[in-house]
Amino acid sequence: MFIYAGKVAIRCYFYIRYNKKMLSPQQIESKLNRILLRVQKPGRYVGGELNSVVKNWDDVKTKVAFVFPDIYDIGVSNVGLKVLYDQINQREDALAERAYSPWFDMEALMRQHEIPLYALESKRPLACFDLIGFSLPYETLYTNTLNVLDLSGIPIHSADRDDSHPIIIAGGHAATNPEPMYKFIDAFVIGEGEEVIHEIVNVIQRVKGQRSKVNGDLRPETCDRNEILHELAKIDGVYVPKFYVTNYLEDGTVAYTEPTIPEARKLVNKRIVAKLPPPPTKFLVPNIDVVHNRVSVEIMRGCTRGCRFCQAGMITRPVRERSVEEVVEAADAAIRSSGFEELALLSLSSSDYTYVKDLVDAISKKFEGRKLTVSLPSLRIESVSIDLMEKLKQRRSGGFTLAPEAASEKMRRIINKYIPDEDIINTTREIYARGWTTVKLYFMIGHPSETLEDVQAIADLCKRVIAEGRKVAGWKVKLNAGVSTFVPKPQTPFQWVSSDTRESVLEKQALLKRELYKDRSIKLSLTEPEDAILEAWLSRGDRRMADVVYTAWKNGSRFDAWKEGRKYDTWMQAFAEHGLDHAFYTHRQRRTDEVFPWEHIGTALRKNFLFQDFRMSLEGQIRVDCRLNCFACGILPTFANLRRENPGKGWMCPDVKSPATKVKSETVNSNQLPVVGD
């Protein structure tokens, strides 16, 4: 069945499980009018936001839907989604629209009234689109992703889709280990998407068949799914799971993963952009109050600090900075187009930005006399100077956030984030003295080799911070201490370690509660141990986890990151149904020569570099900021040609002066025993 709009056919299949049926945008709007007043926050589901892009459906070749599989309140602010939405909508031959996961109340009504999940801009079912791209910044979105596919009438398993269905891709930090989702996603984008998304769209346009006239009408474009996937497998940074097979050893660990067709690479290395493209400036103005109601401009990508627990810092190398002029121009354009009164200057470590003081000066001058709050959300204690505080205080927001992560010298050395107590005390004292009434400190528990004495050090440090704050600013000062639980992540030096046990985490949390609940000026926030365990097995799972994910979803799991959606027992039952032990993925130390499920996915960091760093952690050795000394992590050999073509200060890596050579991606023998110093 096809809908014809004028002379242009729209490929639009919507198969609801109850009866095969397709709804037009008008029918969807009509049904929505009858149910929206029965849900929380109807504004999540109506679209029409200022700066949203609505193109004529019939005038473009390729229709792309970007999905953030969490609620609108969180997803609408996602920076990655904004960038890709902007990139595609700059093309004349393509359009991009958006969708988010409906909350429980809306999902129930959509299923009851047989309303497919639709894109906010056009109200067309997602099944109408040529390409659907999921943003997966964290693993607890996996069951939501399956739920989105089901609500869209699209087969959940990639193997069950035919030429009528959209191509399903996914990217984000979680894609550095795509294996737990390999059965559901047609292709994963590894790394940065600004350039590769265009190459994917071009492949779809090139492969799709030509329309032919039949009885005076236009038939829809045909789509050879298998040919498209073969072509996608040829693109650098694109991983097509169906063209790979994984073999296991008798102990259940991975023996090797290898491609099954010539087009597929043995090692799929991540994509990066040599120079950060202009940031988006047409910011969507949400219909409701959302988590981050502000303009955000990425000032720098990547991090050189080398915190051993931090996946983001490892996988986003190399560091590339935007110029002060580009940031200020983008901020001005975005604020003018949106009317927002808050500006966030984003990066993994904003105070490490080379020109941070010049930038704050330029922002202050540009917006002089205008009501604008400026925030630098990620600040390093080592690089927060008194001068920077003075510059920020004129446009300060409610709190000042720092992340010591650990509070004992031993743990700081283990995680490679060494900040002496006195530096923390002096910095927070100066913050309070300059008018901030609230300081937020982020810590982690559950790191390798941590003891109760190390956790006690967190409580002691918090007490000292609030005491010193009262000396300079009185009893109005407050301290928010956020204490999360460490999860060992793929592609980091800690990928070899086991997760802390539930019992151990609860004991450590009980200590913090006893010590810090006594002071009403200190707000302690903790994460549930089960949340960290769930994230751990999803983060480091192999292909067998896909069946567990599917079964957990089928039995009701969704919104796993939310208290309202947490169903730990459902996951335990799913493991049991498939004969797997969750402890195999969470509470098991990895062998030094173990082949990881993500071994065929490359982030350009040598496995031996990561292993050497892991060994240094065991010995309490610090590795300094790689802006000061290059440690040959693997970035430059992988991207030597890009660096050679883009010399100078844009990157924080050294220039490459050797002659250009063709870089082969299959350069890693994943079964070789890592040796320190190799």
d(CA 484, CA 497): 17
Tokens 């100078």, residue located = 648
d(CA 559, CA 572): 16
Order of strands across the sheet that contains 438-445: 399-405, 438-445, 478-485, 522-526
Task: Evaluate whether residue 172 is within a structural domain.
Answer: yes
d(CA 660, CA 18): 59
**Residue by residue, what is the 3-state secondary structure of 327-379?**
HHHHHHHHHHHHCCCEEEEECCCHHHCCCHHHHHHHHHHHCCCCCCEEECCCC
Neighbouring C-beta atoms of residue 182, cutoff 10 Å: 20
Order of strands across the sheet that contains 295-298: 295-298, 342-346, 373-375
Which of the four pLDDT bands, split at 50, 70 and 90, describes residue 443?
very high
Task: Indicate the helix (H) or strand (E) that contains 306.
Answer: none
Provide the CB-side half-sphere exposure for 627 (13 A, CA). 14
For 87-143, the pLDDT digits (tens) are: 999 999 999 999 999 999 999 999 999 999 999 999 999 999 999 999 999 999 999
Task: Evaluate whether residue 63 is within a structural domain.
Answer: yes
Question: Per this entry, what is the length of the chain?
Answer: 678
pLDDT at residue 22 in the model: 74
Which of the four pLDDT bands, split at 50, 70 and 90, describes residue 676?
very low
* Position 197 pLDDT exceeds 50: yes
Task: Indicate the helix (H) or strand (E) that contains 196.
Answer: helix 196-207
d(CA 491, CA 311): 7
Count of structural domains, the chain: 1
Q: Report which residue type is found at 571.
A: W
Task: State the residue range of the domain holding 31.
Answer: 3-243
d(CA 386, CA 400): 13
Mean pLDDT lowest among 13-22, 97-106, 318-327, 478-487: 13-22
Nearest-5° Cα angle at 498, 495 to 499: 105
Task: Evaluate whether residue 202 is within a structural domain.
Answer: yes
pLDDT at residue 376 in the model: 83
Nearest to 309 by CA among 632, 539, 137, 529: 539
Name, in order, each residue with C-beta under 8 angstroms of 394's C-beta and a sequence gap of 6 or more: 364
- Report CA dihedral (13, 18, 19, 22) to the nearest 10 degrees: -30
* Position 656 pLDDT exceeds 60: yes
Which residue spans within 116-260 are E strands per DSSP? Answer: 131-135, 167-171, 187-189, 213-214, 217-218, 238-239, 244-248, 254-259
Neighbouring C-beta atoms of residue 540, cutoff 10 Å: 26
Cα 418 versus chain centre, distance: 26
For 532-560, the pLDDT digits (tens) are: 999 999 999 999 999 999 999 999 999 99
Nearest to 644 by CA among 629, 631, 634, 658: 658
Task: Evaluate whether residue 205 is within a structural domain.
Answer: yes
- Is 360 in contact with 387 (CB distance < 8 Å)? no
Which of the four pLDDT bands, split at 50, 70 and 90, describes residue 591?
very high
For 504-522, the pLDDT digits (tens) are: 999 999 999 999 999 999 9
- Is 602 in contact with 237 (CB distance < 8 Å)? no
* Position 13 pLDDT exceeds 50: no
Mean pLDDT within 584-589: 96
pLDDT at residue 661 in the model: 62
Task: Evaluate whether residue 391 is within a structural domain.
Answer: no
pLDDT at residue 675 in the model: 33
Task: Evaluate whether residue 298 is within a structural domain.
Answer: no
- Is 265 in contact with 259 (CB distance < 8 Å)? yes
Which of the four pLDDT bands, split at 50, 70 and 90, describes residue 395?
low
- Is 292 in contact with 338 (CB distance < 8 Å)? no
Task: Indicate the helix (H) or strand (E) that contains 428.
Answer: helix 421-433
* Position 214 pLDDT exceeds 60: no
Task: Indicate the helix (H) or strand (E) that contains 52.
Answer: none
Percent of the chain with pLDDT over 90: 83
- Is 170 in contact with 185 (CB distance < 8 Å)? yes
Task: Evaluate whether residue 331 is within a structural domain.
Answer: no
* Position 233 pLDDT exceeds 80: yes
Structure-block tokens of residue 297: 């401009």
Mean pLDDT lowest among 29-43, 174-188, 601-615, 662-676: 662-676
Backbone φ and ψ for 5, nearest 5 degrees, come out as -110, 105
Q: CB-based burial of residue 452 (10 Å sphere; 0-12 exposed, 13-18 middle, 19+ buried)? A: exposed
Structure-block tokens of residue 428: 């927070």
For 419-432, the pLDDT digits (tens) are: 999 999 999 999 99
- Is 120 in contact with 36 (CB distance < 8 Å)? no
Report the relative pairing of strands 320-321 and 300-301 from DSSP bridges: antiparallel
Structure-block tokens of residue 470: 């009262």
Nearest to 300 by CA among 656, 649, 623: 649
Name, in order, each residue with C-beta under 8 angstroms of 528's C-beta and a sequence gap of 6 or more: 563, 566
Nearest to 577 by CA among 551, 550, 614, 611: 551
Name, in order, each residue with C-beta under 8 angstroms of 470's C-beta and a sequence gap of 6 or more: 477
d(CA 171, CA 268): 13
Nearest to 600 by CA among 139, 312, 259: 259
d(CA 678, CA 675): 5
pLDDT at residue 371 in the model: 86
For 281-315, the pLDDT digits (tens) are: 999 999 999 988 899 999 999 999 999 999 999 99
What's the predicted TM-score (pTM) here?
A: 0.92
Structure-block tokens of residue 526: 């903790």
**Coil vs helix vs strand at 659:** coil
- Is 138 in contact with 174 (CB distance < 8 Å)? yes
Structure-block tokens of residue 598: 């993500």
Tokens 């739920």, residue located = 147
pLDDT at residue 662 in the model: 57
Which of the four pLDDT bands, split at 50, 70 and 90, describes residue 657?
confident
- Is 256 in contact with 267 (CB distance < 8 Å)? no
d(CA 125, CA 57): 13
d(CA 72, CA 289): 10
Distances (CA, A) of 346 to 134, 177, 298, 380: 22, 25, 5, 13
pLDDT at residue 222 in the model: 55
Nearest to 102 by CA among 79, 69, 126: 69
* Position 367 pLDDT exceeds 70: yes
Backbone φ and ψ for 412, nearest 5 degrees, come out as -65, -35
Task: Evaluate whether residue 668 is within a structural domain.
Answer: no
Which residue spans within 55-175 are E strands per DSSP? Answer: 62-68, 94-100, 131-135, 167-171
Cα 310 versus chain centre, distance: 13
Tally DSSP H helices, then E strands, for the chain: 22, 23
- Is 412 in contact with 406 (CB distance < 8 Å)? yes
